């Protein structure tokens, strides 16, 4: 005994699980029957492609859309059917007979094009055109747009681009667009080029700018009439050129200057220029003045017992200073500019430099500028401090690095497993691992489970050989983290 089910008319069984309506298979034409309590008949039909209606008895071929002699097949296309044509029929509805003119002899494809029947094109055929022709009926010639220029004649051909030009001399190129004027540009200096009969096949018309000759390259400047480096410019006016003179030179050919009177003395060099005098003197041997008549030592420029020697330096003299003094005029103590760097102390003396430096620990060299830090011994961003240690320096390492040169880190032992990348840092371990996808753990030592996750309550699943194991969180226990933590007071 127990509860009993009273089924509706379309269902039976102890729990009304048997659908009586679908047992008689009411769906036709391959339709699928599904029980339904939402409709009066107790079932619905899912029809095969091309069929419709409550029991799939209606077909998209019912109206006989295909031409006589062809076969209509219901399908999943936009029309709901397709036509299988009889021999000689074509187009989607098979209503074109003899599309390629096989019977009538009227081939629709012109100029030797090959005709093929088509059940996808409404014309009922497609044309495969010979080279040089195109269009739905091969009626368009590649020569129809007159591609050949400058009087060239066009002939269709099978290879690309479908035509060939026969050019009229002296034109060349694929479409007769080239000539010696465009290819070689023989006319120079603004001259214009025109195609001409005979050799060389062109004629130049020179611009009115001083250039002449067959290619407009000759001019009165060819004999270099301008002196002293002046620039020669061809001109249409007589004598056929003009000279652009450098500063300090003048005259029609730039041959005159203020230096012609030799105003600079004592071996000085005279240079024409744009000054009031028209020249400037470059003095030698310690002489100065507008015409180099004064000695640089006349003013006794050397102090503190220094000896003045006339020479060709920029100042015109050199001072030999007494020990302990320096500078162009011996006015400075050798230690006055504090040559000893990095805390070194300076002592004037009779040495060649006039001083000696006593360097701080870790520094060396004439001016205490060198240290063992110059070779940048501290790696990985460590900072170097010169000192008196055995190495001559001490490195202050970035977080995560250690060692004399900051080259060691917790990553040296490659702690990250399964391809994980290691980054030194200030954590307790001294590093952090970035794991590849599918791995986790401080050292990427755990591999995530593949497939379903048996771990409950937020537990982490990892592979243990071919088995799976859980890491439980929040106090849960058990092989699958299914055991709740004890409740307070329980």
Nearest to 42, CA basis, from 23, 60, 67, 64: 23
pLDDT tens for each residue of 142-180: 888 898 988 889 998 878 888 999 988 778 888 888 888
Is the predicted pLDDT of residue 434 greater than 90, yes or no? yes
Q: How far is CA 206 from CA 183, 187, 217, 421, in A?
A: 19, 8, 9, 74
> Could you tell me the domains of the chain?
1-59 (2.10.25.10), 185-219 (2.10.25.10), 448-489 (2.10.25.10)
pLDDT tens for each residue of 356-380: 899 888 888 888 988 888 889 899 8
Is the predicted pLDDT of residue 3 greater than 80, yes or no? no
Q: What value does the mean pLDDT take over residues 108-125?
A: 84
Question: Residue 1 has what pLDDT?
Answer: 59
Cis ω before 239 (30° cut-off from 0): yes
Q: What value does the mean pLDDT take over residues 97-117?
A: 84
Which residues does 414 contact at the CB level (< 8 Å), separation at least 6?
A: 422
pLDDT bucket at 431, cuts 50 / 70 / 90: confident
- 420-449 CB burial, b ≥16 within 10 A, e <16: bebebbeeeebbbbebeeebbbbbbbbbeb
Q: Are 240 and 246 in contact (CB under 8 A)?
A: no
CA distance 243 to 256: 13
Question: Residue 244 has what pLDDT?
Answer: 92
Is the predicted pLDDT of residue 274 greater than 80, yes or no? no
Is the predicted pLDDT of residue 269 greater than 90, yes or no? yes
pLDDT bucket at 490, cuts 50 / 70 / 90: low
CB atoms within 10 A of CB 325: 21
Dihedral pair phi/psi, residue 73, rounded to 5°: -125, 115
CA distance 374 to 392: 11
Q: What value does the mean pLDDT take over residues 196-205?
A: 84
Is the predicted pLDDT of residue 489 greater than 80, yes or no? no
Q: What value does the mean pLDDT take over residues 169-196?
A: 85
The chain-wide mean pLDDT, for the chain, equals 85
pLDDT tens for each residue of 28-80: 888 898 887 777 777 889 888 878 888 888 888 877 888 888 888 888 777 78
Question: Residue 9 has what pLDDT?
Answer: 65
CB atoms within 10 A of CB 149: 15
Nearest to 138, CA basis, from 101, 106, 109: 109
DSSP state of 109: S
Question: Residue 242 has what pLDDT?
Answer: 92
Vertex 73: Cα angle to 72 and 77 (nearest 5)? 115
CA distance 46 to 40: 17
Task: Express as a percent the part of the chain with pLDDT over 70.
Answer: 98
C-alpha Rg value of the chain to the nearest Å:
52
Q: Are 423 and 398 in contact (CB under 8 A)?
A: no
CA distance 328 to 308: 10
Q: How far is CA 67 from CA 27, 176, 485, in A?
A: 29, 54, 80
Is the predicted pLDDT of residue 138 greater than 80, yes or no? yes
CA distance 143 to 154: 6
Q: Are 395 and 376 in contact (CB under 8 A)?
A: no
Question: Residue 395 has what pLDDT?
Answer: 93
- In this structure, are strands 51-52 and 58-59 parallel, antiparallel, or unpaired? antiparallel
Q: Are 94 and 83 in contact (CB under 8 A)?
A: yes
CA distance 177 to 165: 10
Question: Residue 165 has what pLDDT?
Answer: 92
Q: Are 334 and 325 in contact (CB under 8 A)?
A: yes
């Amino acid at each position: 005994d127990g509860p009993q089910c009273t089924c509706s008319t379309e269902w039976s069984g102890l729990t009304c699980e048997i659908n009586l309506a679908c047992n008689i298979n009411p769906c036709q034409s391959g339709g699928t029957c599904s029980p339904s309590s939402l409709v009066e008949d107790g079932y619905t039909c899912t029809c095969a492609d091309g069929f419709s209606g409550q029991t799939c008895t209606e077909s998209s071929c019912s109206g006989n859309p295909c031409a006589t002699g062809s076969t209509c097949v219901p399908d999943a296309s936009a029309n709901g059917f397709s036509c299988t044509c009889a021999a000689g029929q074509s187009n989607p509805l098979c209503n074109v007979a003899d599309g390629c003119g096989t019977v009538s002899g009227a081939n629709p494809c012109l100029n030797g094009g090959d005709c093929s029947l088509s059940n996808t094109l409404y014309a009922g055929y497609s044309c495969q055109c010979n080279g040089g022709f195109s269009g739905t009926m091969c009626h368009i010639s590649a020569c129809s747009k007159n591609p050949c220029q400058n009087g060239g004649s066009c002939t269709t051909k099978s290879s690309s681009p479908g035509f060939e030009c026969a050019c009229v001399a002296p034109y060349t190129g694929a479409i007769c667009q080239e000539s010696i004027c465009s290819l070689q540009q023989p006319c120079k200096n603004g001259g214009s080029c025109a195609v001409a009969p005979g050799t060389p096949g062109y004629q130049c018309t020179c611009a009115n700018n001083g250039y002449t000759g067959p290619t407009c390259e000759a001019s009165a400047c060819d004999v270099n009439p301008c002196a002293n480096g002046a620039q020669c410019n061809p001109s249409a006016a007589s004598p056929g050129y003009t000279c652009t003179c450098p500063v300090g030179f003048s005259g029609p050919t730039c041959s005159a200057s203020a230096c012609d009177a030799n105003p600079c003395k004592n071996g000085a060099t005279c240079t024409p220029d744009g000054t009031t005098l028209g020249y400037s003197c470059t003095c030698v041997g310690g002489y100065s003045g507008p015409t180099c008549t004064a000695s640089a030592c006349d003013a006794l420029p050397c102090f503190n017992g220094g000896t003045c020697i006339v020479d060709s330096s920029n100042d015109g003299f050199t001072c030999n200073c007494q020990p302990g003094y320096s500078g162009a005029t011996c006015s400075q103590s050798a230690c006055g500019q504090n040559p000893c760097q990095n805390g070194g102390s300076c002592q004037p003396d009779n040495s060649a430099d006039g001083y000696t430096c006593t360097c701080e620990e870790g520094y060396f060299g004439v001016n205490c500028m060198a240290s063992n830090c110059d070779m940048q011994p501290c790696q990985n961003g460590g900072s170097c401090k010169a000192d008196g240690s055995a190495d001559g320096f001490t490195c202050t390492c970035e977080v995560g690095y250690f060692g004399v040169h900051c080259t060691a880190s917790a990553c040296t032992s490659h702690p990250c497993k399964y391809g994980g990348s290691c980054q030194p840092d200030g954590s307790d371990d001294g590093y952090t691992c970035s794991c590849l996808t599918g791995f986790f753990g401080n050292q990427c030592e755990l591999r995530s489970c593949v497939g379903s996750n048996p771990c409950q309550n937020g537990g982490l699943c990892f592979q243990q050989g071919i088995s799976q194991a859980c890491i439980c969180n929040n106090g849960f226990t058990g092989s699958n983290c299914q055991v709740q933590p004890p409740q307070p007071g329980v």
